[in-house]
Amino acid sequence: MPVTTTFRIGGDLEVRRLGFGAMRLPTEPGEARAASLAVARRAVELGITLIDTAHLYGWGANEELLAEALHPYPEDLLITTKIGFAQTTEGEGWRHAGRPDDIRHGVDQALRRLRLDRIELLQLHRIDPETPLAEQLGTLSELRSEGKVGRIGLSEVTVAELDEARSIVDIVSVQNRYNLLDREHEPVLKACEAADIAFLPWRPVAPGAADANAEMNAVASELDATPTQVALAWLLAHSPVILPIPGTASPAHLEENVAAADLRLTPDQLFRLDGLFSSEAAAPR
| Tens-binned pLDDT, residue by residue, of the chain (285 aa) | 689 999 999 999 999 999 999 999 999 999 999 999 999 999 999 999 999 999 999 999 999 999 999 999 999 999 999 999 999 998 889 999 999 999 999 999 999 999 999 999 999 999 999 999 999 999 999 999 999 999 999 999 999 999 999 999 999 999 999 999 999 999 999 999 999 999 999 999 987 766 678 999 999 999 999 999 999 999 999 999 999 999 999 999 999 999 999 999 999 999 999 998 743 433 333
d(CA 102, CA 146): 17
Cα dist from 277 to 185, 186, 215, 223, 273, whole Å:
12, 11, 12, 21, 9
Checking DSSP bridges between strand 94-96 and strand 85-87, what pairing results, if any? antiparallel
Cα dist from 41 to 31, 45, 70, 184, whole Å:
15, 6, 6, 34
Structural domains of the chain in order of their starting residue, each with its CATH number = 8-207+240-249 (3.20.20.100)
Q: Where are the alpha helices (DSSP H) in 77-116?
A: 100-114
Answer whether 136's CB lies under 8 Å from 97's CB.
no
Active site residues: 57
d(CA 21, CA 103): 23
